[in-house]
């Protein structure tokens, strides 16, 4: 048996918060794999189903994020499961939006939900970390995670949540690399990329850049313009004879 806990805060006012992305993933897995409806148990909401031929329990703690371990620990003890049978899905500030990491153990990174679970069951469980990005300063973290995803975030969030549900079988089997690879393939191009680098002030060869607004073709045309006509020598004499030019 496998216990998958999606973390979040209860109540409609928190439903679209960045901190609730674990709830969103749990709901998507339940829909995709035809789980039973969620019912109240273990100070949370729990649904039962089967993934990859194994019985799976989906748990959404209703204790608020900071006390997630109360609910998760109670469920784990009731079913006599070990931390290795637990997968926790949660938001991660230190991962770019739309990116995932799946690993066993590790630190909590200041995440209060993980701190609570660590205190109840130890650290040897798997964590599916869903990147939401960082607001830039620690003083802005709380309002950021408790703020709703922006409308523009839906472009990467919805495909990502769907992909997690679609490929949950690989995660349930313990094929973490295969799972992450499928997610990357399914969401290719939807997650925000890195910021574009600033334009350099010199060319690759060290010269000055072309004037703004001039294309490479225009630069080539300008370089093809004829140079000033010679005023002395055999060529100058020939031109004078051809065009009847007079000496000064």
Least trusted range by pLDDT, from 144-158, 215-229, 231-245: 215-229
SS3 call for 4: strand
SS3 call for 36: coil
- Is the pLDDT at 227 greater than 60, yes or no? no
Kindly list the catalytic residues.
19
Region 212-225: what's the mean pLDDT? 38
**107-149 pLDDT per residue, tens:** 888 899 999 999 999 999 999 999 999 999 999 999 999 999 9
SS3 call for 46: strand
Domain limits, the chain: 2-186
Residue 186, burial from CB neighbour count under 10 angstroms (0-12, 13-18, 19+):
middle
User: Residue 131 and residue 96: Cα distance in Å, rounded?
Assistant: 5
Model pLDDT, residue 233: 63
Region 203-223: what's the mean pLDDT? 39
SS3 call for 47: strand
**88-110 pLDDT per residue, tens:** 999 999 999 999 999 999 988 88
**Quick one: pLDDT band at residue 239, thresholds 50, 70, 90?**
low
Between the CA of residue 23 and those of 29, 32, 45, 133, what are the distances in Å? 10, 14, 10, 18
According to DSSP, the β-strands at 54-61 and 44-51 are antiparallel
What topology is assigned to 2-186 in CATH? Answer: Rossmann fold (3.40.50)
CB atoms within 10 A of CB 40: 9
Eight-state DSSP code of residue 200: P
């Amino acid at each position: 048996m496998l216990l998958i806990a999606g973390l979040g805060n209860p109540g409609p006012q928190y439903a679209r918060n960045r901190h609730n992305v674990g709830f969103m993933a749990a709901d998507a897995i339940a829909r995709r794999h035809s789980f039973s409806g969620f019912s109240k148990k273990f100070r949370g909401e729990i649904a039962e189903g089967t993934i990859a031929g194994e019985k799976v329990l989906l748990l959404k703690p209703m204790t608020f994020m900071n006390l997630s371990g109360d609910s998760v620990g109670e469920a784990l003890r009731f079913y006599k499961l070990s931390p290795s049978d637990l997968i926790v899905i949660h938001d991660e500030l230190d991962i770019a939006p739309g990116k995932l990491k799946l690993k066993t153990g590790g630190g909590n990174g200041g995440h209060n939900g993980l701190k609570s679970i660590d205190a109840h069951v130890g650290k040897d469980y798997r964590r599916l970390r869903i990147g939401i990005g960082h607001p830039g300063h620690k003083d802005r973290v709380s309002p950021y995670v408790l703020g709703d995803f922006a409308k523009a975030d839906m472009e990467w969030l919805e495909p990502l949540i769907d992909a997690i549900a679609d490929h949950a079988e690989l995660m349930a089997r313990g094929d973490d690399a295969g799972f992450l690879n499928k997610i990357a393939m399914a969401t290719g191009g939807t997650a925000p990329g890195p910021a574009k680098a600033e334009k350099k002030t010199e060319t690759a060869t060290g010269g000055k850049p072309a004037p703004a607004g001039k294309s490479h073709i225009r630069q080539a045309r300008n370089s093809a313009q004829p140079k000033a006509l010679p005023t002395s020598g055999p060529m100058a004499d020939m031109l004078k004879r051809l065009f009847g030019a007079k000496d000064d």
